[in-house]
Chains A and B, each alone.
Chain A
Amino acid sequence: MSEVILKCDKLTMRFGGLTAVRDFSIEIKEHMIFGLIGPNGAGKTTAFNMITGNLTPTEGKIHFYGQDITGLKPYKIVSLGMARTFQNIRLFSNLSVLGNVLTGFHHKLKYNLIDAILRTPRFYKYENEMKEAGMALLESVRLADKADFKASELPYGERRKVEIARALATGPKLLLLDEPAAGMNPQETLDLMYFIREIKDKFNLTVFLIEHDMKFVMNLCETIAVLDHGVKIAEGKPEEIRTNPDVIKAYLGDINA
């Protein structure tokens, strides 16, 4: 039914003598929510950084919509339609909420430096267009009333939403979320779950996320992969993962303990 949009083929990342990720292969199909779980230090974020171009894999290939993106600069990968958030929410703390979102439009900016300096009609036209689009985006994530707030003034949960909105502004087809529920209480986590589902439909997205919170992943993701010591030890539907003996041994333990 749907096309494979991200394909990782035997990705390996070594830092000096340390192998952080070994032979990591996955395929993500359009419109799915894919989860990657594993303890701290298992190599989840490293895998993420390879896909987004922050790290170049020592070995292996990454294909995005069939195009080889291995080793491309991160900002180029963004313009191809891939956006990410960070584990510890990295907003531009001195920009307003709207300003944060507007940075997401930068890679498709339609005026140049001369327009900005001379304040040409083109500058005003596109600057206004961007602001309207930014407001519309904030509207759709119900943050429009906070548009003028400094990002650092918002509470934690809303900052996470702003970060996601900012990523959406880049116009992604694939959204990568690095531990979106970290630091949230169960209530907020639940809200976030609905939120992710909502934007996925609204913006026609494919979502790839890393998470710790088992309940969150199990409820949200259609497919889950488990990483342990840099190696993928399992992949499958939530119920398969829950009962997979390897996963239980290496990661979950007795989940009801």
Chain B
Amino acid sequence: MKIDRNNILTILAILVFFLFVWWGSNHLTAYAVRVWEDTLIFLMLSAGYNLINGVTGQFSLEPNGFVAIGAYVTAILILTPAQKESMFIIEPMVPWLANLHMSFLPALIIGGIVTAFVGFLLGFPVFRVRGDYLAIVTLGFGLTIRVVSNNTITITNGSLGLKGLPTYTNIWWCAVWAVIAMIVIMRIVDSAFGRAMKAVRDDEDAAIAMGINTLWIKQIAFVTAAFFEGVGGGLLASLITIISPTVFTFFLTFELLIIIVVGGLGSMTGTALATVVVVWGSELLRVVEQPMNIFGLHIPGIPGMRMVVFSILLIIMMIFAREGIMGQKEFSWDWIFNKIKGKRA
């Protein structure tokens, strides 16, 4: 890596971030830490998702499927053989998986790699279609993963799911992985590969005419996204300690979609901001379900109102502010310095 102003600033920013993590893990309430853990995992998931949806412009709806794969693989690897034996009450687990056991880091990485490989295989059929068709086909993939995990009982334990996973995930795991994901993805975006991805997004036929193997470029984005979504799934699995086919529903994809749109499609720094806004916002929205007194007026808590308000806010945002926070722009040091010097961005 070159030692120049921007890289030094980036390293400093990362150090400050970890300092915040260190401070937070000691001073924030367990609940706040918990929500920050969610935020960081979601940041990793949505950064990957934005690479394929925002940067490469391939509107796909598969992340819940990828997250599920990563979660299952990691969970299977970190459970002890004894735990698995007691859990698989319908049919015993296939022996070669039942006896596999390893520590968290290799399990996460294998989870990511397996997911990436599935993404790679999936890419060939799905990228033969474009636009809305791609959306619906990838949506079907997420659904298929759920159906498969319900039925491959000797691997996934069917609807009973995998329970009592060891809780390795903590704020440090989340923070380090989120930073790795952001660095890797932003570096891909800021390279010839990223340019090719944007070219595919802006005009796929013209990109082909430039000699770009667009299938390959889409695959790079897809597989990278799949890897980080798989790792994120592993982190989530160990965080919530129990996974079953119903955990990773379309709602997860939908939340990620909201994040990348709020942040601005194609903008990674926007995604980071939006992750914080959306994850914390939806926690803060719990207020609307609590009974409250406003100026002496008693409003009883209406269960379910949170989701109603959430969806209304989303619709309003799409109508009035659909560019998101950052648009397609990216926060960068050059941009700041130019801003300070008053130059054209």
A71 CB to nearest chain B CB (Å): 15
Q: How far is the CA of A118 from the CA of B209 in the complex (A)?
A: 29
Stretch touching chain B among A28-36, A119-127, A205-213? A119-127
Across the interface, B206 reaches (CB within 8 A) one of A86, A106, A119, namely A86
Q: How far is the CA of A53 from the CA of B196 in the complex (A)?
A: 20
From 238 to 281 in chain B, residues with beta carbon under 8 angstroms from any chain A beta carbon are 266
Instruction: Using CB atoms, name the residue of chain B closest to A52.
Output: B209
* Chain B residues, Cβ within 8 Å of A104: 210-211
Stretch touching chain A among B84-92, B148-156, B165-173, B186-194? B186-194
From 108 to 164 in chain A, residues with beta carbon under 8 angstroms from any chain B beta carbon are 109, 111, 113, 116-119, 123-124, 127, 130
Contact mask A59-75 → B, CB, 8 Å, 1/0? 00000000000000111
Stretch touching chain B among A8-16, A94-102, A222-230? A94-102
A54 and B1 in contact (CB under 8 A), knowing A92-B198, A99-B195, A104-B210?
no
Contact status A117-B184, CB under 8 Å: yes
A91 and B206 in contact (CB under 8 A), knowing A109-B192, A124-B2?
yes
Answer whether residue B283 sits at the interface, using C-beta atoms and an 8 A cutoff: no
Contact status B192-A127, CB under 8 Å: yes
Contact status B187-A103, CB under 8 Å: no
Contact status A92-B191, CB under 8 Å: no
A85 CB to nearest chain B CB (Å): 8
Q: How far is the CA of A83 from the CA of B191 in the complex (A)?
A: 23
Across the interface, B192 reaches (CB within 8 A) one of A92, A93, A102, A166, namely A102
Contact mask B319-345 → A, CB, 8 Å, 1/0? 000000000100000000000000000
* Chain A residues, Cβ within 8 Å of B220: 113
* Chain A residues, Cβ within 8 Å of B192: 102, 105-106, 109, 111, 116, 127, 130
Contact status B208-A75, CB under 8 Å: yes
* Chain A residues, Cβ within 8 Å of B196: 103, 106
From 166 to 218 in chain B, residues with beta carbon under 8 angstroms from any chain A beta carbon are 184, 187-188, 191-193, 195-196, 198-199, 201-203, 205-214
Q: How far is the CA of A52 from the CA of B206 in the complex (A)?
A: 12
Contact status B203-A113, CB under 8 Å: no
Instruction: Using CB atoms, name the residue of chain B closest to A171.
Output: B211
Across the interface, A95 reaches (CB within 8 A) one of B191, B195, B208, B213, namely B195
Instruction: Using CB atoms, name the residue of chain B closest to A90.
Output: B206
Contact status B203-A78, CB under 8 Å: no
Q: How large is the interface on B (under 10, 10 to 19, 20 to 34, 35 or more residues)?
A: 20 to 34
Q: How far is the CA of A113 from the CA of B116 in the complex (A)?
A: 15
A105 CB to nearest chain B CB (Å): 7
Q: How far is the CA of A102 from the CA of B266 in the complex (A)?
A: 19
Instruction: Using CB atoms, name the residue of chain B closest to A77.
Output: B211
Instruction: Using CB atoms, name the residue of chain B closest to A86.
Output: B206
Across the interface, A84 reaches (CB within 8 A) one of B199, B209, B328, namely B209
Answer whether residue A107 sits at the interface, using C-beta atoms and an 8 A cutoff: yes
B224 CB to nearest chain A CB (Å): 8
Answer whether residue A46 sits at the interface, using C-beta atoms and an 8 A cutoff: no
Contact status A94-B202, CB under 8 Å: yes
Contact status B187-A92, CB under 8 Å: no
B→A interface (CB under 8 Å):
1-2, 184, 187-188, 191-193, 195-196, 198-199, 201-203, 205-214, 220, 266, 328
In the assembled complex, 28 residue pairs joining A and B whose CB atoms fall closer than 8 Å, in A order, are A75-B213, A78-B209, A78-B211, A86-B205, A86-B209, A90-B203, A90-B206, A91-B202, A92-B199, A92-B203, A94-B201, A94-B202, A102-B192, A102-B195, A103-B196, A103-B207, A105-B192, A106-B199, A107-B213, A109-B192, A113-B188, A113-B193, A117-B187, A117-B188, A124-B2, A127-B191, A127-B192, A169-B210
A→B interface (CB under 8 Å):
52, 54, 73-75, 78-79, 83-84, 86, 90-95, 99, 102-107, 109, 111, 113, 116-119, 123-124, 127, 130, 166-167, 169-170
